[in-house]
Amino acid sequence: MQEFSPTTTKAVLITGAARRIGSAIARRFGDAGWHVVVHCNRSLDAAQALASSLPSAQVVQCDLANGDAAKAMIATLAGQLADWRVLVNNASVFAEDDVTALDPATNTMAMQVNAVTPAIMAQAFLNGARSCAGRRVIQLTDQKLANPNPDFFSYTMSKYAADGAARMMAMACEPDDRVYRLAPGAILASHDQTPAEAETSHRMNLLGRRTAAAEIADAALFMAAGPLTSGQAIFVDSGQHLLSQPRDVLYLARGED
């Protein structure tokens, strides 16, 4: 068996990697020979199980609602990893609030976890991580940025902020560094969706097919080393962002206007 070491193997940190899309990204990087730093908040058991299934991995636990703690986590990892090439800002909160009545608590949490802390982490990573081949930040956004609807108001607002922050950081980073944006469409069941509802809603795109989490993972791995200039974005949504959908597909699948 090949031996891996976080001090010599190219490394990636993926936030929110214990479950859902984050875990798919972690597995893809692990299969490609990377040392994977699996971040979690509350899902420690799932994170440890995932890490134990990968050739080279470690787990870090941090509440991204605390920007100072997240920055400290980056500093600690920068001291441990000799070739830390990629930060994937995947973790996010996705709570419903009303476009006609913003909920301050929901908005504050969404903005912090989805936009402010990822920017703090990206800045700390680009300033402090050691890499043998340049550094890459991959910020996950959402196809909603090109195909907006009034549902999940604070979540969507926070993703606009995260996207804008990534664009600005891309303009200012060092020549060997890159900042990218990766926009998924409807991939996995949300909130209380039934399997039948998810099957319907996830096909509401131009290709009429379900986009797999593995496709997001493949795109992230490509961004990690592919020939892309800083600031570029990739939509992985089977064309959903090219539509004009008046509501989130969760509600469209239920026939709610």
User: What's the pLDDT at 28?
Assistant: 98
Which pLDDT band, with edges at 50, 70 and 90, does 172 fall under?
A: very high
pLDDT tens readout for residues 188-197: 877 777 888 8
In the predicted model, is pLDDT for residue 7 greater than 70? no
In the predicted model, is pLDDT for residue 6 greater than 80? no
Question: CA dist 177 to 123, 145, 220, Å?
Answer: 12, 25, 16
pLDDT tens readout for residues 35-47: 999 999 999 999 9
pLDDT greater at residue 8 or residue 94: 94
User: What's the pLDDT at 77?
Assistant: 98
What span, in angstroms and rounded, lies between the C-alpha atoms of 138 and 130?
17
Question: Domain map of the chain by residue range?
Answer: 11-252
pTM attached to this predicted model: 0.94
Q: Which amino acid is at 124?
A: A
pLDDT tens readout for residues 119-160: 999 999 999 999 999 999 999 999 999 999 999 999 999 999
What span, in angstroms and rounded, lies between the C-alpha atoms of 90 and 87?
9
Angle at 34 between CA 167 and CA 66, to 5 degrees: 50
User: What's the pLDDT at 191?
Assistant: 74
What span, in angstroms and rounded, lies between the C-alpha atoms of 238 and 182?
14
CA 127 to chain centre: 20
User: What's the pLDDT at 83?
Assistant: 97
User: What's the pLDDT at 257?
Assistant: 67
Which pLDDT band, with edges at 50, 70 and 90, does 98 fall under?
A: confident
Question: CA dist 241 to 14, 69, 143, 185, 235, Å?
Answer: 25, 34, 5, 8, 8
Percent of the chain residues topping a pLDDT of 90: 84
Q: Which CATH class is domain 11-252?
A: alpha beta
Look at residues 22, 19, 12, 18 and name the one whose alpha carbon lies nearest to residue 216. 22
For the CA atoms of the chain, what is the radius of gyration?
Answer: 18
Look at residues 153, 162, 155, 85 and name the one whose alpha carbon lies nearest to residue 118. 162
What span, in angstroms and rounded, lies between the C-alpha atoms of 128 and 125?
5
Contact 59, 47 (CB under 8 A): yes
What span, in angstroms and rounded, lies between the C-alpha atoms of 178 and 125?
12
Contact 10, 87 (CB under 8 A): no
Contact 102, 154 (CB under 8 A): yes
The least confident of 94-98, 131-135, 215-219 is 94-98
The least confident of 3-17, 59-73, 112-126, 208-222 is 3-17
Contact 71, 121 (CB under 8 A): yes
| H or E element at residue 249 | helix 249-252
